[in-house]
């Protein structure tokens, strides 16, 4: 699998999410919340079943588990230390300043950079982990693009600025992929950080959003994500 076309595809999913909010979904958060549930189910499955075991098998062994914790805490700091708490559907809120929107863009750009590093690292392993990680990032970057677009809309930046913000996240992911490809950072720690990131995003960002949808639809969305992972892992051959 080639980094040169898989990384741009995953990155452009951010633009798709931003464009969807600007063009169709302003004031209609339910669809993106259900998509968040699908992404949460997939990312949880991917992290527990594949990323963490591969991280522990990499050079460094059990020490890499500390990088999982570090990745989880790092995302928390980026989302709640650098920026105020945010979520999809921000366009329904009237509080907050333009500065808070810019800070949200900074925090999510760092997150996107880590996504790009994760793509490059996973694709460098001699297994099906690369395309599985790309699919997971593809799924969660659509809601993430919607998140930054909705934040910018409610802060009064307008449609064009909302799309530019989503494009910034896409560019940050591409830079992360290129950086990992050039620097060739150790796979074990990078996979550990990736596992921490995906665990946090799935459990603290995406899952709370789908839980706002009433009835069985939230559970169906979550289980659909698990099903997509199982099908993908089955169809993609796994070789060490």
pLDDT digits (tens, 9 = 90+) for 170-216: 888 888 888 887 888 888 999 999 999 899 989 988 898 899 888 89
Domain membership of residue 59 (yes or no) is yes
Around 128, how many Cα atoms within 13 Å sit in the side-chain half-sphere?
A: 16
pLDDT of residue 161: 87
CB atoms within 10 A of CB 185: 16
Domain membership of residue 163 (yes or no) is yes
Domain membership of residue 29 (yes or no) is yes
Tracing tokens 């307008």 back to the chain, one arrives at 158
Contact 90, 151 (CB under 8 A): yes
pTM: 0.82
Number of domains comprising the chain: 1
Domain membership of residue 48 (yes or no) is yes
Most distant CA atoms of the chain, gap in Å: 51
Q: Give the span between the Cα atoms of 113 and 87, in whole angstroms.
A: 19
Domain membership of residue 197 (yes or no) is yes
For 38-78, what is each residue's pLDDT tens digit?
999 999 999 999 999 999 988 888 899 999 999 999 888 87
Domain membership of residue 75 (yes or no) is yes
Domain membership of residue 240 (yes or no) is no
Contact 25, 31 (CB under 8 A): yes
Q: Give the span between the Cα atoms of 203 and 199, in whole angstroms.
A: 6
Q: State the residue range of the domain holding 157.
A: 3-235
pLDDT of residue 237: 66
Domain membership of residue 230 (yes or no) is yes
pLDDT of residue 88: 47
């Amino acid at each position: 699998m080639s980094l040169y076309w898989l990384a741009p595809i995953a990155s452009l999913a951010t633009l798709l999410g931003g464009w969807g909010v600007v063009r169709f979904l302003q004031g209609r958060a339910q669809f993106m919340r259900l998509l968040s549930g699908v992404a949460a189910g997939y990312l949880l499955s991917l992290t527990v079943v594949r990323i963490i075991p591969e991280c522990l098998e990499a050079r460094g062994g059990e020490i890499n588990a500390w990088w999982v914790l570090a990745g989880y805490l790092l995302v928390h700091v980026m989302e709640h230390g650098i920026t105020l708490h945010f979520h999809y559907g921000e366009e329904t809120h009237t509080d907050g300043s333009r500065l808070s929107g810019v800070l949200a863009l900074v925090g999510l750009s760092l997150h996107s950079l880590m996504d790009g590093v994760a793509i490059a690292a996973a694709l460098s392993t001699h297994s099906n982990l690369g395309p599985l990680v790309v699919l997971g990032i593809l799924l969660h970057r659509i809601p993430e693009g919607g998140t930054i677009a909705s934040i910018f809309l409610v802060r009064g930046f307008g449609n064009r600025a909302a799309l530019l913000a989503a494009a910034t996240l896409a560019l940050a992911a591409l830079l992360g992929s290129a950086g990992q490809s050039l620097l060739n950072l150790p796979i074990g720690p990078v996979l550990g950080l990736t596992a921490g990131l995906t665990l946090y995003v799935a459990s603290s960002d995406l899952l709370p959003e789908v839980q706002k949808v009433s009835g069985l639809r939230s559970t169906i969305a979550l289980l659909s994500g698990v099903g997509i992972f199982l099908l993908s892992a089955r169809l993609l051959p796994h070789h060490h």
